[in-house]
A and B are shown apart, each in its own frame.
Chain A
Amino acid sequence: MAERADAPRVGPAGTLEQLLATKEIAISCGSGGVGKTTTAAAAGAMAAAHLGGKVLVLTVDPAKRLANALGLEQFGNVERQVPAELFQAVGVDPRGELFAAMLDTKESWDALVRTHAPDIQTRDAILANPLYKNITGKFVQSHDYIAMERLHEIHVSGRYDLIIVDTPPTRNAIDFLEAPERMADFFSSRLLRWLITPYRSRLINAASRPFYNVADRILGSQFLEDIAEFFILFQTMYDGFVERARAVTRTLEDRRTTFLVVSTLEEAPVREAEFFIDALDDRGFHLGALVLNKVLPAYFLDDGATAVAEVLCRKADPIAEEIAVADLGTADHVARVLREVGESFLNYRVVATREAEQRKELGRAPEVVASAPFFETDIYDLAGLLRLGERIWR
């Protein structure tokens, strides 16, 4: 049924295939619930199957179903290969290899600290600091940064030809785009030095004393000292961090990096998509494709079909009489079914019309616009991912 339920295709030149063949990093972004993770995985599976080379899907979404769909028991911070047999089992002989990994924020932070800490004592002191644990475990901003940091790390390692990244929902989009820059700002900020200096020197100068008096009253001096200790320790990694954060920003700006904006045609996701497209534009990032998921079939916009639905609602009784055959049941019964069929069509047509409007409003479309229909079931295996992939690929 899904195959028959054709979603209209729009967008002239360019395909996802061409786009991904020429890029090294594709970042999939969009509002929650629009199929961002699934789209990233489907694009990755298609790239591995048809483009060759080593393809990595890096997700921040711990969806167990996606792990299952890729034939992996579970995701981890370490990349794992999706067995080629899984492709072969669905009749695809992949030209390349597909890998998948899920970002583990805590583990990635720990790895980063191990890399940048000047010595073992500092390293251990940071890893044991309660504030460090708190920041890395709980707070989402650190999640945004580490996702981009990890992407950069994998990219420069040269282990993959193409990395497809799934991101947190766009409400944080700007956050994660700006995360590397903010991290650099943070570590190079004069305020940070101002904050920790008195605790280092134990000499509070006249200029900053009132600030500490106020801060002490609010937070208590113990907490302030905890913060200070944490930042003093982190300062030892200052150079490494700032350099890294800048490199990560450069990676995002690089022409080999592209962004896939994923959306449905519902009002809120469309607005998020527009917002995101603008944000990419402002920052000079490359918008490669717009992928529209769960698009209602084109027949809902067909005038002929609509006329049929209206006739079914209005004249269900005479039509039921007219088409009566022996095994169909009473005319009353048939008329009721016909009315329900007609009403359902008209209900969905309202939605389809609204969505067609939304689609028009996504005017400033990128080179590639791909759309995928409502699939009758959720995607739970590689075959499903490839089925979705086929719809958005060419």
Chain B
Amino acid sequence: MAAAPLALLDRRLLFVTGKGGVGKTSMAAALALLGSAHGKRTLACEVDAKGNLADFFEAEPNTFQPQELTPGLFAMAMNTEESLKEYLRLQLKVPLLARIGPFARSLDFVANAAPGVKEILTVGKLFWEVREEHYDLVVVDASATGHIIGQLAAPQAINELVKVGRVRDQTRWMVDLLSDPATTGAIIVATPEEMPVTETLELAGRIRAETEVDLAAVIVNKVLPELFGRGEEETFDRLREPDLVGALSRATGGPAESVLDAAELAVTLRRTRAEHIARLRNEMPDGIALLYVPYLFTRTHGVRATRHVAEALAAELGY
């Protein structure tokens, strides 16, 4: 159970990250669903160009312009070019002339070439939505482990690089929002496997060392169920012996050995994963909530699976 369960969804901006393949997008979708179910006007934003956040809501592909999925639940896809245009329009009141033709292209070129500009256009847009209170909660399906530090550290980095100008003013309030734990939190998603756990521990360290963002929680996804209760594993071991395998095959009229093999595989997988969970728990800095989401043996993906995950998270968060 989380130490401060309510704190998570009471924040305004959540960056959900993690190693590829751990279910980062699914968790972001579930958190957004949960936020909206609790009456918060919620925006889910995917940052990856080829993200599939929309699949988890079974919605049309996301665009920079948010779509309302259900009342109070919105989804969008980040696009730094659009973000730059919006920024120019809203912030600098740049005349139309400058936004078209070679000027827009030049600025886009600068955005691509200059370090951190792409990152700042991404997080800048998100912080803008938060600051303007367009939403109660913004959940970001953020970049994977390798890129997230660059994004989260961008406002600070730009703030240090750029000594004067409008950008510096802009990054200052971003840094303020970013470093306020009541506003912003990072969530790392992991699966109980060796590399995801290792990367999660490393990332937790880097978030603390290199960014101003508060690590709000670690979600352990795909936790396998315990197959046997107390004393049952001995019975199972006895069932594995040839006389009883034979007896079971006769009693069931089929290849009982395969079914027993399958159970042993399940036990082994569960045990290996439990060790990784233990390592994560032991090596994670104190005070960081670990939330567990079970492996879903489901046939479906899409919004039904997302709802299952949201329910599991709700239980962990004490809702």
Contacts and interface: CB of A to CB of B under 8 A. Distances in A.
Interface of A: 1, 4-5, 31-34, 63-65, 130-131, 134-135, 138-140, 168-169, 171, 186, 189, 191-192, 194-195, 210-211, 214-223, 226-227, 231, 264, 266-269, 271, 275, 297, 299-300, 302, 304-305, 307-309, 311-312, 319, 322-323, 325, 327-329, 333-334, 336-338, 340-342, 344-345, 347-348, 350-351, 353-354, 374, 376-378
A226 B160 CA distance: 13
Contacts of A351: 297
Contacts of B50: 171, 275
A121 to B, nearest CB: 23
A131 to B, nearest CB: 6
Nearest to A130: B161
Given A140-B147, A340-B232, 11 more contacts: A33-B20, A63-B198, A171-B144, A195-B106, A222-B162, A302-B258, A328-B238, A333-B235, A337-B232, A340-B263, A341-B227
A218 B92 contact: yes
A63 B196 CA distance: 11
B264 interface: yes
B152 to A, nearest CB: 11
B48 A171 contact: yes
Contacts of A223: 114, 161-163, 165, 167
Contacts of A328: 235, 238-239, 244
Contacts of A297: 261-262, 265
A171 B21 CA distance: 11
Contacts of A222: 162-164
B157 interface: yes
A134 B115 contact: yes
A210 B98 contact: yes
Contact of B236 (A138, A140, A218, A341): A341
B254 A308 contact: yes
Interface stretch (B32-40, B174-182, B187-195, B282-290): B187-195
Q: Chain A interface secondary structure, helix, strand, loop or mixed?
A: helix
B161 A226 contact: yes
Contacts, number: 244
Contact of B110 (A171, A215, A376): A215
Interface string B225-250: 00111011001101100011001110
A249 to B, nearest CB: 19
B150 interface: yes
B272 interface: yes
Given A333-B235, A378-B272, A214 B162 contact: no
B195 A33 contact: yes
Given A275-B50, A319-B248, A341 B260 contact: yes
A130 B116 CA distance: 13
A66 to B, nearest CB: 9
Given A31-B21, A348-B266, A299 B258 contact: yes
Contacts of A268: 21, 25, 52
A220 B162 contact: yes
B196 A345 contact: no
Nearest to B272: A377
A33 B162 contact: no
B297 A134 contact: no
A131 B158 CA distance: 11
B65 interface: no
The 3 closest A-B pairs by CB, nearest first: A32-B20, A220-B165, A33-B21
Given A1-B268, A323-B247, A220 B167 contact: yes
Interface in B266-282: 266, 268-269, 272
B243 A31 contact: no
Contacts of A378: 193-194, 272
B194 A342 contact: no
A171 B24 CA distance: 13
Given A218-B92, A219-B162, A219-B165, A345 B259 contact: yes
A362 B235 CA distance: 41
Contacts of B107: 211, 214-215, 218
Given A33-B21, A336-B232, A344 B248 contact: no
Contacts of B94: 214
Contacts of A354: 299
